[in-house]
């Protein structure tokens, strides 16, 4: 099954499985069952079994999956073996933090350039990646055929930036701005809502304190 044929909830769970499998000691058991994986991640066994069956046919009754093979199947399905180039818009503190994060390479993501409305930021980031003014964005995206855009601008500017990216060939948007983005059919937006995450953590802590 192709990634675009799988629901977003499943796609969001698959990286969790991969991260756990890769965290296990190399000298540990060679096989792992869906039951063990579900228990480790506090998830439903039936759900985990169904998810894994979508990306790998390596499971065996009473044996489970060969761990290294399952890791390979997950990485291939998620596209981590194929480098995806992206542009980032918004070279402020968050944008620069993402530019300097080397861990994206493990997941097949390469942020090739950043853009910002503040011309004084133009030059080269500490990571070695170029930062350009916004006027350079259209030609860059079209010439490089970049398909992913990362938005780290204030909420008031996010929709305009999103529209500009889409107009120049971007098909997927990773949005860090605290705002809902309206996009045409066929464009995927993945928003990182820090307020929502903080609310979940706060409620959990409140429950722990009350308990």
3-state secondary structure 140-185: HHHHHCCCEEEECCCHHHHHHHHHHHHHCCCCEEEECCCCCCCCCC
Give me the chain's average pLDDT, please: 90
Q: Is the pLDDT of residue 2 over 80?
A: no
Q: Find the farthest-apart pair of alpha carbons in the chain and give their distance in angstroms, rounded.
A: 62
H or E element, residue 114: strand 109-116
Any idea what DSSP says for residue 188? E
State how far the Cα of 142 lies from the Cα of 127, in Å rounded to an integer.
24
Residue 80 is predicted with a pLDDT of 80
Cβ neighbours of 162 (radius 10 Å): 24
Which tens digits make up the pLDDT trace of 142-188?
999 999 999 999 999 999 999 999 999 999 999 999 999 999 998 98
Give the Cα separation of 167 and 101 in Å (integer).
28
**DSSP of 17-74, one letter per residue?**
HHHHHHHS-TTS-SEE-HHHHHHHHT--HHHHHHHHHHH----BTTTBEEHHHHHHHH
pLDDT band at 12 (very low <50, low <70, confident <90, very high): confident
Spatial distance between the Cα atoms of 2 and 171, rounded to a whole number of angstroms: 17
Burial class (CB in 10 A: 0-12, 13-18, 19+), 169: middle
Backbone phi, then psi, for 190, in 5-degree steps? -115, 115
End-to-end CA separation in angstroms for the chain: 45
47-97 pLDDT tens trace? 999 999 999 988 888 889 999 999 999 988 887 877 789 999 999 999 999
- What pLDDT score does 164 carry? 97
């Amino acid at each position: 099954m192709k990634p675009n044929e799988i629901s977003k909830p499943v796609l969001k769970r698959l990286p969790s499985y991969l991260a756990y499998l890769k965290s296990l000691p190399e000298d540990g058991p060679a096989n792992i069952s869906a039951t063990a994986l579900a228990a480790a991640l506090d998830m439903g066994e039936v759900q985990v079994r169904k998810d894994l069956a979508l990306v790998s046919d390596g499971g065996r009754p009473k044996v489970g999956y060969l761990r290294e093979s399952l890791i390979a199947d997950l990485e291939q399905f998620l596209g981590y073996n194929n480098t995806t180039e992206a542009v980032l818009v918004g070279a402020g503190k968050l944008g620069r933090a993402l530019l300097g994060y080397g861990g994206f390479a493990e997941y097949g993501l390469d942020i090739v350039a950043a853009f910002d409305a503040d011309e004084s930021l133009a030059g080269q980031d500490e990571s070695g990646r170029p930062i350009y003014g916004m006027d350079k964005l259209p030609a860059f995206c079209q010439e490089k055929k970049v398909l992913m855009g990362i938005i780290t601008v204030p909420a008031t500017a996010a929709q305009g930036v999103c529209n500009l990216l889409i107009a120049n060939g971007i098909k997927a948007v990773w949005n860090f701005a605290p705002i809902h983005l309206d996009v045409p059919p066929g464009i995927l937006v993945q928003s990182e809502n820090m307020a929502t995450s903080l609310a979940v953590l706060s409620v959990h802590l409140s429950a722990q304190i009350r308990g």
